[in-house]
Amino acid sequence: MPKQITIKEILDNNTPLEKRFIKDLSQLEIIVKLLKESNYRIVLTQGVWDLLHIGHAAYLEKAKSYGDILIVGVESDALTKKRKGPSRPVVPEKERVGIVSHLRSVDILVMQNNLNDLDALRKVIKPDVYIMSKTTKDLNKSRIEQIKKYCKEVIALEPQATTSTTARVRTLMIEGAQKLTDEIKKLTDDFINRI
């Protein structure tokens, strides 16, 4: 088992990703227990964090404002494909973890990879505050009640920017399709002119 990270290391902005990215849920449970015993208010949020943009950064900063320690769950590639379709994520999980780790508001990262239990991290962490986006597809009273079983408080934030990863991906796909169409038309016209 890797050496246990200390509270001092978690709070230090210079602690490298290797120490803040907790891969083992039993180790994460121990760390969270120590933090809670030291009276730190734990905030948890989860997401894909694909094609990171200003809205993501502002969302994570706002999430951190609700407590002392922000734990960010990053959805694995497999979970993202299951939830968002075969063309996602655009950025692989290892790279997404690395990018998110550079945001000052993020204290601890963990991979969310349980395809059968989306509450797995909430069950382990039992955060003081769980932050979710009001744009979450399955956001309804029943789902919030389910989440509250593992969290003291659930807060649904408004989007922090008008930027949307899905909209950006859609635009890139449309632009790519248009360029392909234009190229095919040019080749077809050239072929017809040669005949």
Q: Would you place residue 1 in the very low, low, confident or very high pLDDT band (cuts 50, 70, 90)?
A: very low
pLDDT at 187 over 70: yes
Strand partners, 154: 130
Amino acid residing at 127: P
Listed by start position, the domains of the chain span 7-162, 164-195
Structure letter (DSSP) for residue 108: E
- CA-nearest of 6, 15, 3, 179 to 104 is 15
pTM of the model: 0.81
Residue that wins the pLDDT comparison between 51 and 170: 51
Highest mean pLDDT among 158-162, 165-169, 172-176: 158-162
Strand residue runs (E) in the chain: 42-47, 69-75, 108-112, 129-133, 153-157
Three-class SS of 109-175: EEEECCCCCCCHHHHHHCCCEEEEECCCCCCCHHHHHHHHCCCCEEEEECCCCCCCHHHHHHHHHHH
Assess if CATH 1.20.840.10 describes domain 7-162: no
Strand partners, 131: 45, 155
Strand partners, 130: 44, 154
**d(Cα 84, Cα 53) in Å, to the nearest integer?**
18
